Amino acid sequence: MIFTLAFRNLFHDRIRLAVTLVGILFSIVLVAVQLGLYLGASRMITANIDHADADLWIMPFGAKSFEDGGLLMGTRERHQALATPGVAQVTPLVVRFTEWRKPEGGSTRVVVVGTDAEEGAVKPLSLKTGTWEDIKAPDAIAVDETYLKDLGVDGIGDTAQIGPSRVKVGALTSGVRSFTQSPYVYTPLSRARSLVGAEGSDLATFHLVKVYPGQDVEQVRTSLLNRLEGAEVLTTEEFHQRSLRQWLFRTGAGVALIGGALLGILVGTVIVAQTLYSSTKDHINEFATLRALGSSSGYIHKVILTQAGLSAVIGYVLGMLLALLIVLGSQSTPLPIVMTPQLAAGLFTVTVFMCAISAVSAIVKVTKIDPATVFSR
């Protein structure tokens, strides 16, 4: 009967129900979009780090993120690392902002990623057209298809210029977006050095370290730190977190996204609380009758919480449908929104929690019911 009464109370006033559901729906969509953007941005920021085949990253002291590695390191660090017990492989990686000159005039900033994929460094993610062999061809580079228009090229075979050098699109990736909106340009290590003005050198932004199987990564790191001066050694997870902090929190972008999500939860809570409260007020005589009939406070609270729960489930389903449409629509944009099963489950939990909190004001109201009012109607 609790469910029946809650369901009927809820559907008795369709307009109020619609207001409640719209409140929950907008709240869910807002939270889903904000958190989806946060997740999407996080993935973009750390995608190259997460896909690198490395246990440890050697970088100049104070390197802030994958794109902002600071000064290039020489070969000394690489040789010292290779001489460290437990180190199996050290692969140089060049990452540098530079200028891309469009064939039809104008320029844009890009991030050149120089890597020898065969050696286990960063691989171009999601190659859609072409292979690593195509990228190794003279002047060849790989860019993401999303940025073709921004780069002023149409596709495979088109040429442009980075610094003094000519480059040719040899392969296309799909879905490799850059949080900085400066597209990644993947190319072999030696060509990358020439594109960033370090031609013929052994300079690198990072050295990616693989340890021998069974080796204690922490122990190897300590050994590396003892040998290397002016360099930092981070685990992949630490570098992942540092990059996130740099772009999401030091720039304020993440705070804005999380703030938007919290605002969505707050707005949803207020709307649901207001409608649940007014619904309870409208049905107060019925609750007083229940009290007069001898129902416990808990029974009445369950009716209100069931109403809140029903609102949450219906609002969640509608909100998620709209959110998924927005997520789908964002996939071809430079900042796609990400929806994962974990985020969907989290949103459901947030919605139920939000509606349960919203029920508090109604429960407080109903707790103060004087059953004697049943005689004064």
Alpha helices in 132-252 (DSSP H): 132-135, 148-151, 189-195, 217-227, 236-244
Per CB under 8 A, which of residues 226..265 are in contact with other proteins? none
Nearer to other proteins, 1 or 15 (CB): 1
Closest CA to 32 of 331, 324, 255, 329: 324
Structural contact between residues 10 and 305, judged by C-beta atoms closer than 8 angstroms: no
Instruction: Establish if 365 lies at the interface with other proteins (CB under 8 A).
Output: no
Nearer residue to other proteins within complex by CB, 149 or 377: 377
Tell me: does residue 138 bind other proteins (CB under 8 A).
no
Output DSSP code: residue 229.
S
Residues 176-202 as b/e (b if ≥16 CB within 10 A, e otherwise) read bbbbbebbbbbbbbbbbbbbbebeeeb
Using the minimum distance from each CB to other proteins, give the nearer residue, 26 or 299.
299
Cα 290 to Cα 284: distance, rounded to the nearest angstrom: 10
Of 285, 331, 333, 349, the one binding other proteins (CB under 8 A) is: 285
Q: Which CB atom, from 215 or from 295, has the smaller least distance to other proteins?
A: 295
**Interacting residue with other proteins among 15, 149, 342, 375 (CB under 8 A):** 375
Site string (290-329) toward other proteins, x via CB under 8 A: xxxxxxxx-x------------------------------
Cβ neighbours for 221, distance < 8 A, ≥ 6 positions apart? 56, 233, 235
Nearer to other proteins, 222 or 296 (CB): 296
Beta bridge partners of 255: none
Closest distance between other proteins and the C-beta of residue 369, in Å?
Answer: 10
Beta bridge partners of 101: 107, 161
Site string for other proteins, 9-28 (x = CB under 8 A): x--x----------------
Query: Which span sits near other proteins by CB under 8 A: 91-99, 249-257, 285-293, 343-351?
Result: 285-293
Q: How far is the CB of 46 from other proteins (least distance, A)?
A: 53
Q: Which residue has the tokens 């002023």?
A: 152
* Kind and range of the H or E run holding 108: strand 107-114
What residues line the site for other proteins (CB under 8 A)? 1-2, 4-5, 8-9, 12, 285-286, 289-297, 299, 371-372, 374-377
